[in-house]
């Protein structure tokens, strides 16, 4: 993808070309960046407080949104059962995930429940509490369960 800027005055020089590395951009994406990208499509999108179980909502669309940014590329994206169950009970919820490959939207109400497994995993992604505990997790496939929305957002 390339961006072109016009110069203020006519010039004999070629246009200024800035290249855009999509993979690098997606790898470094934060949840606040996902919110900003989605807000361009959904002007009434509002963020929730940090203690809410979802990240954003749209009153006009009557939908909730949960964001997850991953720095590693996976085809099957991990979700904890406790998160899945919480999202499933809230109505129209979209689980928006970014990976270095793209941005994917999972309509939680329309996908099949994953096969649940017990895995020994870090308690949190925080460095202070990285002791391992058993978690019930499943996997959502980006090809089977999601709609890719990368080109719509960036």
Provide the pLDDT confidence category of residue 68 given band limits of 50, 70 and 90.
very high
User: Per-residue pLDDT tens for 80-115?
Assistant: 999 999 999 999 999 999 999 999 999 999 999 999
- Cα–Cα distance, 38 to 58 (Å, whole number): 11
pLDDT of residue 10: 55
Structure confidence at residue 2 as a pLDDT band (50, 70, 90): very low
Helix (H, G, I), strand (E, B) or coil at 119: strand
d(CA 99, CA 111): 20
Strand 103-107 to 146-148 pairing: antiparallel
CATH of 2-153, one of 3.40.50.1700, 3.30.70.1230, 3.40.1350.10, 1.20.1250.20: 3.40.1350.10
Q: Mean of the pLDDT values across residues 66-89?
A: 95
Least confident of 23-27, 42-46, 94-98, 102-106: 23-27
On the question of pLDDT at 4 being above 50, the answer is no
Query: 141-153 as b/e, with b when 16 or more CB fall inside 10 Å?
Result: ebeebbeebeeeb
Query: Mean per-residue pLDDT for 37-50?
Result: 94
For residue 8, pLDDT beyond 60: no
pLDDT exceeds cutoff 50 at 146: yes
For CA atoms 47, 49, 55, 60, the dihedral sign is: negative
Residue 98's pLDDT is 96
What is the structure's pLDDT at 62?
96
């Amino acid at each position: 993808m390339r961006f072109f800027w016009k110069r203020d005055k006519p010039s004999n020089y070629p246009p200024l070309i800035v290249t855009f590395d999509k993979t690098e951009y997606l790898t470094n994406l934060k949840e606040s960046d996902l919110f900003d990208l989605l807000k361009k499509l959904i002007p009434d999108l509002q963020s929730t407080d940090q203690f809410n179980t979802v990240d954003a909502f749209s009153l006009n669309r009557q939908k909730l949104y949960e964001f997850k940014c991953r720095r590693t590329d996976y085809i099957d994206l991990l979700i904890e059962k406790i998160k899945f169950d919480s999202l499933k009970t809230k109505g129209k919820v979209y689980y928006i995930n970014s990976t270095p490959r793209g941005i994917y939207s999972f309509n939680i109400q329309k996908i099949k429940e994953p096969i649940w497994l017990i895995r020994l995993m870090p308690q949190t992604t925080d460095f202070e509490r990285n002791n391992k505990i058993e978690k019930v997790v499943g996997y959502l496939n980006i090809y089977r369960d999601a709609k890719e929305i990368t080109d719509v957002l960036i």
